[in-house]
Structure 1
């Protein structure tokens, strides 16, 4: 009787082993993904994944959930099952999270300009420096690990840090800007500084023409002004226009205000702060110098 019981016991164990092995075999897709576990009510249509038992044989907790991305998804894991870097911010992005990124990097002295909200080469360079300091892959792109470490290393930016009076850091003035009344415009820093006898009176962000319609560089003078003007070539509004070179002018641009550096002008110097330009327009006189330089 004991021998018969032992034989039966061995047969049962073998059957259990076969059943367990069947649950760990690939599903035939070639991905090595385990086959879906049986539902709590075998053969019942409509059984949901949360009805399945867990790997230890216990029923899942009421809050248990299953991942929406498969382990083979490159955004969630590499072949070894280790979570991979997922892009959060990168080149060309323009939004408020980029502005916060720049403000936090500036707190840590990795970004030497005020936030613009646009992710370009300067921001990518600052991110690389931060990543190098923290022992992260130097991609220049913000992933979850980079963002997490940045949050822990910095504090939440204030309103003034996010949107300071002048977004871009002023460039060193061109020598031609150091005397007289001058609109000193730097293509390098993308700024306009209104200067009188070498002193900066006010400053603002500017945008220039594209490669096909470049803004001319050199020494000019304000030829004439128009508070309200519409381009006779492109038929677009040019408020607070101050013309300095054969149709090129400093003027307010609603497109610049809306899109930032994602766009370009047809050769004019665009300003996005309407209030600042309005005040400047009232101060500048025909004959004042205009210097456009790198």
Structure 2
């Protein structure tokens, strides 16, 4: 696939002479931020086209932290989410059926009072705000993550190798680490490349690790960077993992998950990437 020069500038320019050619990462904010109104982490269904969903506001009077995930909700609900007591959403979200199935509700794809209460409990347990019971893209991504924890490689897409292998599933936007059929790091949420800058698929080896890497092109921090293909790396980000359209090719992780991956993986370990990010 042909790419423009800007699309090839993925991740971070490396500060070494040997190894794959140097490339660069797009800057990320130094503090946690709310998702951009222009893009959702996963595309809504046909019934909820992108302009109809915007980042909701957390409950009034509470500070948004880096560990809280901001859900995309209908504009009519977002306008009130941060200014008055949260109400249970009467709207049917694009991931209603997935939430109903996971939570043991009747799977009819229609919001009910009972559905809303169950989804709200799930959102509160996983720090999704505003917890209105609307099954938006962030709630859907969290449901997929929880479902994958029991058997992440059920479909057999990641090779069962004797060496440690970071399995990067672009379809589900998940990553885990396994070795000889044993999961060493349970599935975690990722943010892969944005449209035209997709994370490259294939099997690679980690060739450089830098705990406190800084891009010399943008001067931005890439904590716990583990490079595996021409500058593409696994690394932590400071903003919400569900915000924005995606990276410039790197596999973004929360700071906690990036640190855990750093502790599990080593130079020379395998990174296997497959699939295609929804919406790209």
Q: TM-score, normalised by structure 1?
A: 0.49
Q: Confirm or deny: 8 A CA contact 1:92 1:118 kept in the other structure.
A: no
Alignment of 1:56-205 (within 5 A): 92-95=53-56, 117-119=70-72, 124-126=94-96, 146=111, 148=113, 150-151=115-116, 154=118, 157=121, 161-163=125-127, 167=142, 168-169=145-146, 170=148, 171-172=152-153, 173-202=156-185, 203-205=187-189
1:216 aligns with 2:200: yes
Partner of 2:211: 227
The match for 2:246 among 245, 264, 267 is 264
Larger radius of gyration: 1
Query: Displacement, 1:277?
Result: 2.0
Q: Confirm or deny: 8 A CA contact 2:99 2:119 kept in the other structure.
A: no
Structure 2 unaligned residues grouped into runs of 5+: 1-47, 59-67, 74-91, 101-105, 129-140, 276-280
Query: Displacement, 1:194?
Result: 1.2
Distance 1:177 1:118, change over 3 A: farther
Provide Cα deviations, 1:142-197, integer angstroms capped at 9, x if missing partner: xxxx4646346x48616874359x94243534242454210111001111101121
Structure with the bigger RCO (C-alpha within 8 Å, sep 6+) is 2
Query: Displacement, 1:94?
Result: 3.7
Partner of 1:30: none
Provide Cα deviations, 1:75-124, integer angstroms capped at 9, x if missing partner: xxxxxxxxxxxx9x996444478xxxxxxxxxxxxxxxxx965449x950
Provide Cα deviations, 1:2-29, integer angstroms capped at 9, x if missing partner: xxxxxxxxxxxxxxxxxxxxxxxxxxxx
In the alignment, the residues of structure 2 paired with residue 155 and residue 243 of structure 1 have an alpha-carbon distance, to the nearest angstrom, of: 38
The match for 1:249 among 208, 233, 246 is 233
Query: Displacement, 1:125?
Result: 4.2
Provide Cα deviations, 1:183-213, integer angstroms capped at 9, x if missing partner: 1110011111011212112231110111121
**SS in structure 2 opposite 1:229?**
strand
More strand by share: 2
Aligned-residue RMSD, C-alpha: 3.9
Distance 1:92 1:229, change over 3 A: farther
In the alignment, the residues of structure 2 paired with residue 188 and residue 147 of structure 1 have an alpha-carbon distance, to the nearest angstrom, of: 29
Q: TM-score, normalised by structure 2?
A: 0.51
In the alignment, the residues of structure 2 paired with residue 194 and residue 117 of structure 1 have an alpha-carbon distance, to the nearest angstrom, of: 27
Q: How many residues align?
A: 174
Structure 1 unaligned residues grouped into runs of 5+: 1-86, 98-114, 139-145
**SS in structure 1 opposite 2:223?**
coil
